[in-house]
Amino acid sequence: MKYVEEYRGAEAAHRYARALRSLVTRPWTLMEVCGGQTHAIVRFGVDQLLPPELTLLHGPGCPVCVTPVELLDKALAIASRPGVVFCSFGDMLRVPGSGGDLLSVKAAGADVRIVYSPMDALALAERLPAREVVFFAVGFETTAPASAMAVHEARRRGLRNFSLLTAHVLVPPAMEAVLATPGRRVDGFLAAGHVCTIMGMEAYQPLVRTYRVPIVATGFEPLDLLQGIHMCVAQLEAGRAEVENQYARAVRTAGNAPAQAMLHEVFEVVPRTWRGIGPIPASGLGLRAGYADWDAERRFGVSAVGGREDAECQSGQVLRGLLKPPECPAFGTRCTPETPLGATMVSSEGACAAYYRYRRFIGPCAPTSP
């Protein structure tokens, strides 16, 4: 990939930091809603380049982290069935459910496999016609089109031994849930650039109109983030609230029309429970009636399986921007990547994992040059 180092230049980063110090006249709090952005912020010390008036909060931007316990428990129940090949992205294997994780089920003899695409799982279903192949469909609007394409192809090819356990969630309703929280601290958002690449910018307009907060679609490198922060703060200082696009090299206003059409054909909007947050209306994607035969919950009769959160885990507070990971009493002691209490510690996009990896030993470190 070309043009990576150009977005990590220390000199340009410090120019943005100086520009922000000149711009800010009062305290503002921004929230990024993307785990990839969170990791870049913590890894490169972006937050530590900012003037003290600016606070960054880490929102519910990791789809692995917000997958509810009951869906994890359904995954464990399905994966444990004889004759099932359970396929998942690697991030999900260590995420704890009520009674273990997918890795422990695999260790006990279940056929759990890591795949890199739902189409890999579909190919397995073609090669193993005597087995039931289930794909754990987790992700925001970014990965949902690939899941939609896989089940669309399964129906077209007549593959009846393939199904989806669907956990896809939508970003704008989660942002609204944050904004509707009493005593909210968020003045503006950095929206996930990859989500906007698929869905475009229009879905954020109702949030801007209702809550009067600026939303800036932002990329994932340090200079992307600093420019997105500058654009958002410039709006706040001017008393504006608009949807803006920092990530113009990838995001178009209308998004990706073919991907949106595939989503609309296969999925419908449904309520979804978010781990650590609770139910959010119209925040998930479920298979439409025409694709119900490829619904793993229905096929394996696990719709009634419940779940139980760990009482000590405070990941819900982290996901809502009410707590920074090091402020949790269990962080780095009773909760580590080897012994996680919640998903935010084991997901590669989890905020707790970011702080554990990059700031566990040094605490609030000195500003890091990107």
Same fold, 5-62+171-245 and 64-169+255-300: yes
CB distance 285 to 292 below 8 Å: no
Domain boundaries, the chain: 5-62+171-245, 64-169+255-300
Instruction: Give the model confidence (pLDDT) of 98-155 as tens digits.
Output: 888 999 999 999 999 999 999 999 999 999 999 999 999 999 999 999 999 999 999 9
Task: Please name the fold of domain 5-62+171-245.
Answer: Rossmann fold (3.40.50)
User: Which of the following CATH numbers is that of domain 64-169+255-300: 3.40.50.300, 3.40.50.2000, 3.40.50.11740, 1.20.1250.20?
Assistant: 3.40.50.11740
Instruction: Give the model confidence (pLDDT) of 205-253 as tens digits.
Output: 999 999 999 999 999 999 999 999 999 999 999 999 999 999 999 999 9
State the pTM of this model. Answer: 0.91
Alpha carbons 87 and 122: distance in angstroms, whole number: 10
Question: Which two three-digit tokens encode residue 329?
Answer: 């009493």
Sequential DSSP letters for 16-80: HHHHHHHH--S-EEEEE--HHHHHHHHHHTGGGGS-TTEEEEE-S--HHHHS-HHHHHHHHHHHT
Alpha carbons 133 and 165: distance in angstroms, whole number: 11
Residues in CB range of 304: below 8 A, 6 or more apart: none
Mean pLDDT of the chain: 92
